[in-house]
Chain A
């Protein structure tokens, strides 16, 4: 049994110590917004915040967590899509299939907490999650929008014309 603080609520989770946090969150806490993609910390679909740092929960055994550690999942970043990242994602229709987007949003919110106005290079370095639909261009633009960086957003803008 592990005591985990998930989205501000301390829960008793009947997890073995070796169980990756991802499966404790999905199968035992019942929060399915955090996704399974690869199981080896490559794709980032399972990204959550632990004490404000973005981490890949598929590769963190529950035993490595302390009861005081604050875990935040996609369900916990705002009650009503009011986080600036969610708003920017909605504004640009960033998701396609959407499966990786929980992780992308967790990576973006963690980035903006540390670096409120990231450069393109900082976005490149921080946003390493895989998206197979290929929403990368809109993710870059949306991060700039969420950061209030109009010039960055314009230079990254999805550019299309109809002739």
Chain B
């Protein structure tokens, strides 16, 4: 069992570093400070430590939150290291360590499906450099030319002298060698991979099966207190007053803390006490200027954006789409809308902080540990080099635990009131649903023109809605242009390119910001935009009289990768083949996060209007596939996440606040509604696309297009539960 101890940070247990006894699996442990570790086992380089027993410890800088990045990164390093996969263990890098070593491990942020695609090169180089040093150490020992040595699974051999040794035996000598000149490092061709590219088992499963895995919410520290918090229910509101007179003397009660201007926290001996007392605490709020805002007023704002004379906040103008559509033989017009959505990670926001005048530490479930560190330093008022964040694998991330780090700031503010005493802040589910960085709300007005033969003459997409950049990264808005909200409609290839070419195209973004905090939400903004583009294109296909796939293919000739994925999904999804009575198909394709996705859904709609998704076939081209089994798991997961949003997902605003505060009103799809998912990995090679997010965007439009096929009526507003289909 992992044991949390005092000042040394995390877990003194050796368990995390040893090869597990189960199915060759390993358990990912917490970390010892590298200084302590260096004394016993020197590192070969920043990425690799080889122990005398031949265990190869691969250092991981990115967050593992379920998406399998930890295993994939270890595969990439091990591939170049040429070590024995059964003896690979992993170790997490902490952001203070990264800072102290001038960010030798690079960026730690894990979002935008970047965990592997933006670090594959340097982690593989790290593995390769370590291999070269280990082989050089053996060559030096044997006084043989290194070129005559071979290595397989961590065993180095010299055929001429019939000698062999292991990585473990030469590790100490290798650690003293200079790193090889980067120009001398040649990475393997993925076609020759034996570890990477293979459907290997995850390294981190065992501890998730017996309760032994420690999430941040499970952290125990000596003398620790627990806090529960309530932030102003109305975004932008403030605490006016609270009355804690009745809490004094209650069992375990310690203190009520005002957190900045906006929140109140109750600190006690247990979470049960803290949240119970918080619920009893009378708080008077100054609700501020947003208390009258509602979903209806926000919808009116977005509609105004759809009709506004401008100016726009980004888009493409190719030809004269408005004229082409006006002069067309037939036109199609439709307005679509998607709501705010919460992430609803299973592990609620939490953070444990310990702050003194000259040291701040925090235990955080984070997707961006460096951002956590910066937030801790700022809120605690302690310089960065005197701070450390002990990151734990989050119980779900989906974009919630990236840049914002609101819960870290709050925990540090509270812990400052108890110098030297660790305080764990845990949010209730209600707080988690009330204070997310929500998927931005938007609407889309689409218009298309068709000629007499059913060919598209012009397309116009106008999206009106909230901007993530305006809320969290205004510096990313160039002039007034914010292309991020048009993800998936871009002209530029490589990341989120529109897969259609039409004679005249107009895309526009009309920024309409609300008072609701918004942020990244697994697959944002391709999720909303794929619904807009792919459901609208389905309406245009119907108007053209053409088959959905034939119609799309005609417009995708300039986009062979998009097209290949569409075709792969159509083929595996039996497009055009007979279906049981009452079952209908829908198809969609889109690009996001550097990868190409397509889906075919088989759906029935009951006489009462109940939608049932029976089967989904998804095709994904992420270029180089690092672990096909993990890719399939991500595709399956994206279906569940995407279907929940399609069927049920909606955060309604009333009186300036969120009202769907727990799973009774923010419904999540259960196992019974999970369709059979089939994954086609289109392994085209040659590029590194994302995996965690890309396929989610095609789930909703494929299902909605199947519902359209079933009912004859397009669904234009999400979620489905608000649409009467009977």
Question: Which residues does chain A contribute within 8 Å of B178, judged by CB atoms?
Answer: none
Contact present for A159 and B679 (CB under 8 Å):
yes
Contacts A133-B637, A161-B572: A97 and B205 contacting too (C-beta < 8 A)? no
> From A95, which residue of chain B is reached at the shortest CB distance?
B208
Contact present for B681 and A161 (CB under 8 Å):
yes
Pick the contact of A90 from B209, B272, B678 — CB < 8 Å? B209
The answer to whether A33 has its CB under 8 Å from any CB of chain B is yes
Contacts A16-B251, A134-B637, A162-B628: A99 and B211 contacting too (C-beta < 8 A)? no
For chain A, give the interface size range.
Answer: 35 or more
Question: Which residues does chain A contribute within 8 Å of B67, judged by CB atoms?
Answer: 96
Q: How far is the CA of A128 from the CA of B220 in the complex (A)?
A: 30
Shortest Cβ distance from B536 into chain A, in angstroms? 27
Binds A, one of B392-400, B404-412, B462-470: B392-400
Q: How far is the CA of A148 from the CA of B272 in the complex (A)?
A: 41
Binds A, one of B238-246, B345-353, B436-444, B602-610: B345-353
The answer to whether A115 has its CB under 8 Å from any CB of chain B is no
A-B contact count (CB 8 A): 214
Produce 1/0 per residue, A127-152, CB < 8 A to B.
11111111111111000000000000
Shortest Cβ distance from B91 into chain A, in angstroms? 18
Q: How far is the CA of A27 from the CA of B226 in the complex (A)?
A: 10
Q: How far is the CA of A78 from the CA of B210 in the complex (A)?
A: 8
Contacts A40-B662, A75-B211: A90 and B206 contacting too (C-beta < 8 A)? yes
Contact present for A86 and B209 (CB under 8 Å):
yes
Question: Which residues does chain B contribute within 8 Å of A161, judged by CB atoms?
Answer: 572, 678-681
Contact present for B22 and A130 (CB under 8 Å):
no
Contact present for B206 and A93 (CB under 8 Å):
no
Contact present for B678 and A159 (CB under 8 Å):
yes
Pick the contact of B429 from A34, A39, A73, A101 — CB < 8 Å? A39
Pick the contact of B395 from A35, A105, A137 — CB < 8 Å? A35
Q: How far is the CA of A82 from the CA of B676 in the complex (A)?
A: 28
Question: Which residues does chain A contribute within 8 Å of B633, judged by CB atoms?
Answer: 93, 96, 135, 138, 158
Contacts A90-B23, A98-B395: A162 and B681 contacting too (C-beta < 8 A)? yes
Interface residues of B in 635-692 (CB under 8 A from A): 635-641, 662-664, 668, 670-672, 674, 676-683
Shortest Cβ distance from A118 into chain B, in angstroms? 12
Most central of B208, B625, B637, B670 by chain A CB within 10 Å: B208
Contacts A86-B209, A124-B671, A134-B638: A160 and B66 contacting too (C-beta < 8 A)? no
The answer to whether B295 has its CB under 8 Å from any CB of chain A is no
Contact present for B663 and A40 (CB under 8 Å):
yes
Contact present for A128 and B670 (CB under 8 Å):
yes
> From B618, which residue of chain A is reached at the shortest CB distance?
A160
Question: Which residues does chain A contribute within 8 Å of B572, judged by CB atoms?
Answer: 161
Q: How far is the CA of A20 from the CA of B273 in the complex (A)?
A: 11
Pick the contact of A98 from B213, B568, B668 — CB < 8 Å? B213
Contact present for A135 and B22 (CB under 8 Å):
no
> From B675, which residue of chain A is reached at the shortest CB distance?
A137
Question: Which residues does chain A contribute within 8 Å of B681, judged by CB atoms?
Answer: 160-163
The answer to whether A8 has its CB under 8 Å from any CB of chain B is no
Interface residues of A in 19-42 (CB under 8 A from B): 19-20, 23, 26-28, 30-40, 42
Question: Which residues does chain B contribute within 8 Å of A28, judged by CB atoms?
Answer: 270
Q: How far is the CA of A40 from the CA of B662 in the complex (A)?
A: 8
Most central of A40, A90, A140, A156 by chain B CB within 10 Å: A90
> From B678, which residue of chain A is reached at the shortest CB distance?
A159
Pick the contact of B631 from A93, A129, A160 — CB < 8 Å? A160
Question: Which residues does chain A contribute within 8 Å of B211, judged by CB atoms?
Answer: 31-34, 73-75, 102
Contact present for B670 and A130 (CB under 8 Å):
yes
Contact present for B678 and A37 (CB under 8 Å):
no
Question: Which residues does chain A contribute within 8 Å of B677, judged by CB atoms?
Answer: 137, 158-159
The answer to whether B632 has its CB under 8 Å from any CB of chain A is yes
Pick the contact of A138 from B204, B636, B679 — CB < 8 Å? B636
Contact present for B25 and A99 (CB under 8 Å):
no
Question: Which residues does chain A contribute within 8 Å of B397, judged by CB atoms?
Answer: 97
Interface residues of B in 470-485 (CB under 8 A from A): none
Question: Which residues does chain B contribute within 8 Å of A127, judged by CB atoms?
Answer: 670-672
Pick the contact of B396 from A23, A97, A128 — CB < 8 Å? A97
The answer to whether A123 has its CB under 8 Å from any CB of chain B is yes
Provide a sorted-by-A list of 6 A–B residue pairs whose CB atoms are within 8 angstroms.
A35-B215, A93-B629, A100-B346, A159-B679, A161-B678, A162-B683
Known contacts A35-B346, A136-B636; 6 additional CB pairs below 8 A are: A40-B663, A90-B209, A123-B671, A124-B671, A132-B344, A160-B678
